[in-house]
Amino acid sequence: MKITVMKTEHDFDIAAAWRIIGQMLEKPSAVIGLSTGQTTKNMHRIVSDIYKEYPFDTSKVTIFNVDELTNLDRSYPGSCYTMIYEQIIRNLGISDENFLMPPTFSDDFDVECTKFENALQERGGADLQMLGIGWNGHIGINQPGTPFERHTWVSPMDPIFEEKVRRETKVPDDYPLGGLTRGIVDIMQTRKIVLIAKGESKAEIIEKAVRGPVTTDIPASVIQLHPNCEVLLDVAAASRLI
C-alpha cells in the first residue's frame, strides 16, 4: 500500500482532485467511483475548476457514487445523486446515461443492487474508487461488522447520520431509511482504490485502518489486502502514522 501525505488540507484537496482528472485523461472511457461528504467537497470543486480552465473530452467517462440513500427523494440536497450531480456531473458535462446511480425508491432493492453491479460490469468494471472513510472506519455505508464478502446491499445507516437526515427531511421515525452501498467485495474489485482522509478527527481511525489488524470491526482495514491502493492524507489525518 502506498501512503501519500500532503502538507496542508489544500494540498490534499488538489492532489485528490488530480487523481480523478488523471484517471480521466489516462483512460477516456474510465469508470470512476466517488464518495460524498466533507472530505470530497473541495476536491470535487477543484476537479470542476480544472475542467473549466482546461476542458477535455468527458463524453465516454462513467461516474458513479459508492453509495446512495434509500427511501428519500433524489432531489433531497443530501442525496448522493444530487451532491455528485451538483459537484461534478453538471460541471463536467457528463451525460445522464454515464452517471450511474441506483434509484432511491424501489419495491425490490436486491434487484436494483444486482442491476447496478451489472451496469458497472458492462462498462468493464470500476477503474478507480475515491473512497472516503467514516469516523468508525466504515467505507461506503458498510458499517463495522459487515462481512468482507458482502455484495452490494442496503445497509442500516450510521445512527448519527440517520438522525441528521431525519432532522433535515422531517421523515417520520417509523419510516425506514437505509443506505444502498457497494459491498466490500465489490469495492475491492475496483482496479485502483484511493482511500482519502483529512483532518485530525480521522487520525485515529486511519491508524487503525492502515496499521491495525485486518478486521471487519474496521471495514476500511480491508484495503490493506488490495493490490493497488493508495492512502492519500493530509498531515493532520496522518499524524498518528508519522
Q: Which residues bind ligand GLP (CB under 6 A)?
A: 35-39, 66-67, 132-134, 140-141, 161
Residue at shortest CB range from ligand GLP: 132
3-class secondary structure, 34:
strand
Q: Which residues pair with 31 in a beta bridge?
A: 62
> Do residues 203 and 239 make contact, with C-beta atoms less than 8 angstroms apart?
yes
117: CB partners within 8 A, 6+ apart: 151, 152, 182, 186
Task: Give Cα separations from 207 to 141, 147, 165 (angstroms).
Answer: 20, 21, 29
Closest separation in Å from C-beta 9 to ligand GLP? 12
63, β-bridge pairs: 32, 99
Q: What's the closest the beta carbon of residue 24 comes to ligand GLP, in angstroms?
A: 21
Specify whether the CB–CB gap between 37 and 67 falls below 8 A. no
The rounded Cα 133 to chain-centroid distance in angstroms is 8
Q: Minimum distance between the CB of residue 178 and ligand GLP, rounded to whole angstroms?
A: 12
Q: Which is nearer to ligand GLP, 30 or 66 (CB)?
A: 66
Q: Please, what is the minimum distance in Å from the beta carbon of residue 133 to ligand GLP?
A: 6
Nearer to ligand GLP, 53 or 145 (CB): 145
Report the amino acid identity of residue 193: I
Instruction: Report the residue number, 77 or 107, with the smaller CB distance to ligand GLP.
Output: 77
The least distance separating ligand GLP from the CB of residue 57, rounded to whole angstroms, comes to 28
Smallest distance from the beta carbon of 53 to ligand GLP, in angstroms? 26
Task: Kindly tell me which of 12 and 97 has the beta carbon lying closer to ligand GLP.
Answer: 12
Please report how close the Cβ of residue 166 comes to ligand GLP at its closest, in angstroms. Answer: 15
- Number of neighbours of residue 22 by Cβ within 10 angstroms: 12
**Separation of alpha carbons 47 and 131, rounded Å:** 16
Kindly tell me which of 27 and 162 has the beta carbon lying closer to ligand GLP. Answer: 162
* Beta carbon nearer to ligand GLP, 11 or 27: 11
Complex with ligand GLP: residue 118 or 201, whichever CB lies closer: 201
Q: Which residues contact 28 (CB under 8 A, 6 or more apart)?
A: 57, 60, 61
By DSSP bridging, strand 178-181 and strand 153-155 are antiparallel
